[in-house]
């Protein structure tokens, strides 16, 4: 009989979102590089060694999909987006952002024609990870989803709205989708068979406060939900059949704080019924996420339940996790369900407020609980 491990097709029963806490040697190396004390090659050698270590650690605790922990990044999204053609990065004061945890934020705006460069640095980063995975594991790469550009770089960006580069929202949406079609093919050609689109911009559509910020610019919420879905569908238009692409949606993650609140209901029908990804990584670790009821719109996709929080250190009770999986199975067949943490452990290089020991205990809890449920 063919087993899941032989197929190596994610999402897996026990999976992860992607980012991991940066070890001190990475933090120190990045600080030294910023001060000119070491070269870019020196930094990369230190990153490579740290990534080798955490890949082996992921294998040892029983994960099938391994990541590089996003160790080469400052932010989970910015590093990818700023390397696209047609993006300008700037910094703004953000008092009160993420419950006051983030005082400044690097932002970006579409300021020219958008293109995916064939020498995008993430391709080499992926190839290194791929070389570490081996035959019994899958190298998983995470990149920000297309609506991160459409939302933050276009419809919620005063600079773009005052000086639009494209003639219409349709035109800029098409350009973003073309970028992602090229990116997906480039990662596939580099050997990637498991790609995750992290797209927290969907969170702005189930948060009343942030939805109002979009609507104040003259955009109807329902229209933007549809556009988000359309852009994602178009981005996946040429996805190779033997490549898994998933979407991760959460409510923001910075030093154990969050940005959005609200359940999935306002976006569920367009997202779950229409967007043809292979799986959804969905946050369900707190009351901010609401109930499992919006999952009734899921078709044949996998749903990876984020029931283990990365925001606080105490371990969840596996009995309660199993009860919640059973509850979710009222809306989605249990054979379509998987388990993961609700987010990464370090969406930015600062990381969440826990130790590396706490992090590995959380991931091991995911593996052990999934083994119990789907043994």
Q: Give the predicted TM-score (pTM) of the model.
A: 0.93
Q: What is the pLDDT of residue 350?
A: 81
Cβ distance 42 to 33 under 8 Å?
A: yes
> pLDDT of 321-365, one tens digit each?
999 999 999 999 999 999 999 999 998 888 788 999 999 999 999
Q: For 10-57, write each residue's pLDDT tens digit.
A: 999 999 999 999 999 999 999 999 999 999 999 999 999 999 999 999
Q: Please check the confidence at residue 4 and state whether its pLDDT lies above 60.
A: no
Q: Which tokens hold the place of 292?
A: 């499992």
Quick one: pLDDT band at residue 313, thresholds 50, 70, 90?
very high
Provide the mean pLDDT of the chain: 91
Q: Which domains does the chain have, with CATH numbers?
A: 4-373 (3.20.20.210)
Among 103, 106, 151, 76, CA closest to 348: 76
The pLDDT, as a whole number, for residue 5 is 42
């Amino acid at each position: 009989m063919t087993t899941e491990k032989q197929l190596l097709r994610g999402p897996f029963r026990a999976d992860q979102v992607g980012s991991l806490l940066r070890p001190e040697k990475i933090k120190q190396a990045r600080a030294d590089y910023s001060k000119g004390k070491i070269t870019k090659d020196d930094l990369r050698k230190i990153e490579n060694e740290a990534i080798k270590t955490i890949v082996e650690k992921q294998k040892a605790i029983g994960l099938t999909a391994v990541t590089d922990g996003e160790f080469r990044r400052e932010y989970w999204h910015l590093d990818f987006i700023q390397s696209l053609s047609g993006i300008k990065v700037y910094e703004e004061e953000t008092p009160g952002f993420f419950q006051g945890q983030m005082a400044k934020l690097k932002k970006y705006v579409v300021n020219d024609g958008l293109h995916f460069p064939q020498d995008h640095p993430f391709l080499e980063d992926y190839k290194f990870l791929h070389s570490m995975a081996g035959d019994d594991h899958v190298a998983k790469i995470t990149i920000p989803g297309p609506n991160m550009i459409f939302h933050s770089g276009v419809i919620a960006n005063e600079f773009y709205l005052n000086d639009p580069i494209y003639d219409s929202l349709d035109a800029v949406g098409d350009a973003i989708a073309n970028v992602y079609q090229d990116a997906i093919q480039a990662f596939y050609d580099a050997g990637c068979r498991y790609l995750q689109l992290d797209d927290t911009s969907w969170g702005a559509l189930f948060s009343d406060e942030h939805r109002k910020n979009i609507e104040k610019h003259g955009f109807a919420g329902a229209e933007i939900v549809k556009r988000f879905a359309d852009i994602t569908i178009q981005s996946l238009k040429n996805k190779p059949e033997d490549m898994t692409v998933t979407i991760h949606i959460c409510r923001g993650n910075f030093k154990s704080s969050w940005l959005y609140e609200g359940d999935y209901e306002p976006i569920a029908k367009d997202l779950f019924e229409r967007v043809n990804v292979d799986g959804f990584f969905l946050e369900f670790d707190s009351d901010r996420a609401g109930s499992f009821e919006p999952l009734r719109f899921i078709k044949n996709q996998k749903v990876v339940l984020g029931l283990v929080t990365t925001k606080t250190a105490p371990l969840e009770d596996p009995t309660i996790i199993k009860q919640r999986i059973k509850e979710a199975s009222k809306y989605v067949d249990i054979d379509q369900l998987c388990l993961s943490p609700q987010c990464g452990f370090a969406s930015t290089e600062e990381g969440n407020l826990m130790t590396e020991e706490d992090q590995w205990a959380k991931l091991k809890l995911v593996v052990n609980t999934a083994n119990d449920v789907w043994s």
